[in-house]
A and B are shown apart, each in its own frame.
Chain A
Amino acid sequence: MTCEETPALLADRLLGQSSATDERRLEAHLATCAACRAEVAASAELWTDMGALDTVVPHERLRARFHAALAAYEARDSGHWLDRMLERWWPRQPALQAGLAAALLLVGVLIGQRLPSSTDGEVAALRSEVRTVGLALLDHQSASERLLGVAWSQRTEQAPEVVNALLERVQYDASVNVRLAAVDALRSRTSRPEVDAGLALALQQQDTPLLQVALTDALLESGSAEAIEAVRRMLSRAELDPAVREYAQTALTEAGADTAPRADI
């Protein structure tokens, strides 16, 4: 036999399919041909190494991918791409569906919260619009709407125009009840000089006893020298209601202040 026949006979041998005749002829040739002997040895070694390798088993993910690909292939042209995508990703169990919906909602909310950095201007504009509406309420024809305006002012930031609008209500509102509510709204803002000054001026000019009492409370709560002096000045008014006079005197004493007006202010 020749060297050219060796690979074919070798393959048969490795596969265990060679006949006894072929086997004898190969052996006879190898005994005389060193090159073929070397090649047979190398091939046999490779064959043995390959046999030692683990059998490769397809992974589960591969199976899933295959099935998904198969399903996609089968579903191709069976509907809109969005339907197909949803069909592929949307879980079948109601509980999972609800969970996924909640998760998507959460993602939406989180994105929404992150985004507004670019809409601060709009929020400011909206706030200013709300303020305009609130100030308009304070100037409304209906006393009930003005009370609503006063209630709004207590929940808003202390912008100067809001404080001014409240002081204007205290002084000039046609309804005693709105004037009283405005004094209450300003009570949390006393000790600001403009508020104290406005309330002191109102106490000097108002002659409704309930309002005088409310203004006295607000001014003594502030406790500034100007506020206390305003209450003292009211006591010097001859026409003052006796009950208001007694109340203010007691309140001044409780505040630890003199009831007599100071000469130096």
Chain B
Amino acid sequence: MNQLPIYRAFLTTALLIAVSSARAQSDERLVVPLSDPSRPAVLEISLFSGDITVKAYDGNEVIIVTDAPLHQADEEEEPRTDGLRRIQSSSVGLTAEEGNNTVSLRMDFSPQGVDLEVTVPRRTSVHASLVNGGDITIIGVTGEHELSNVNGDVIATDVTGSAVMNSTNGDVQATFAAVSATKPMSFSSFNGDVDVALPANLAADLIVTSQQGDVLTDFDVAVEQDPAVVERSGDAGGRYRVRMQRETRYAIGGGGPDIQFRTFNGDIMIRKR
């Protein structure tokens, strides 16, 4: 994808944060400058366990603050009495990397959670994924956001642009200050609710699917395509055909790009902002 691999290689700064147990109580702060502050940034965070908060500010650098109770650095390790030395560690290491205006934060698998608070320039697309522990929260950022969590909530507050958000067991909540007129969006949760507030004058097609939840809105919606009635046909040869269309397509503001909402157990709320 990257067309400037050499450029990127030169610009890439690899930074390892290894926080000693002695400093576990205090916040660790890392400031990452962007390659080109005049252009929008991308923040990529991939954590197994923890809590992720991303806030926009009127600055040009990415500021990472973490209070993780992390491991002892290898060099500080006490010599073992059995004469063995550690050559691989299962301890937590958070790696921050910047290249071509993309800041990546990754952590090796660890059952320990990491609380991560990242302050970013306003024009930053946030791509974050989490499995266990807490929530993903992003506030005030403008860009194309992609957020996915398994056991916690996914919350986007006062964001601009577009978002693709998913949680398996948590809620998905989003309030938009403004929405890209041409970008499709998608919000889904298996067990949680999906609650999205969109600009009142938005023109879009809402594609709504819920197996066991209710769908609520204060938008004036025009039904474009009803769920087809369950139809069933079979023959003696053992072939069956069942139609179980549960999605409904509504137009708001005359229709526009697709915005998909999907839950299994949860409700879907689509609000005017």
Q: Hey, which bits of chain A sit against chain B, CB under 8 A?
A: 141-144, 147-148, 151, 175-178, 180-181, 184, 208-210, 213, 217, 220-225, 228, 241, 243, 247, 251, 254-257
Contact = CB atoms under 8 A, between A and B. Distances in A.
Contacts of A243: 190-191, 264-265
Contacts of A175: 146, 148, 164, 166, 186
A254 B148 contact: no
B240 A255 contact: yes
Contact of A178 (B164, B258, B262): B164
Contacts of B187: 177
B86 interface: no
A188 to B, nearest CB: 10
Contact of A142 (B144, B166, B262): B144
B188 A177 contact: yes
A256 to B, nearest CB: 5
A224 B239 contact: yes
B242 interface: yes
A199 to B, nearest CB: 14
B244 interface: yes
A129 to B, nearest CB: 20
27 contacts: A141-B1, A144-B164, A147-B260, A148-B184, A151-B184, A151-B258, A177-B166, A177-B187, A177-B262, A178-B164, A180-B188, A184-B247, A208-B190, A210-B190, A210-B262, A213-B264, A221-B241, A221-B243, A221-B244, A225-B238, A243-B190, A243-B264, A247-B211, A247-B264, A255-B240, A256-B232, A257-B240
B239 A225 contact: yes
Contacts of A223: 239-242
Contact of B164 (A143, A210, A257): A143
B264 A148 contact: no
A144 B144 contact: yes
B246 interface: yes
B162 to A, nearest CB: 5
B84 interface: no
A147 B164 contact: yes
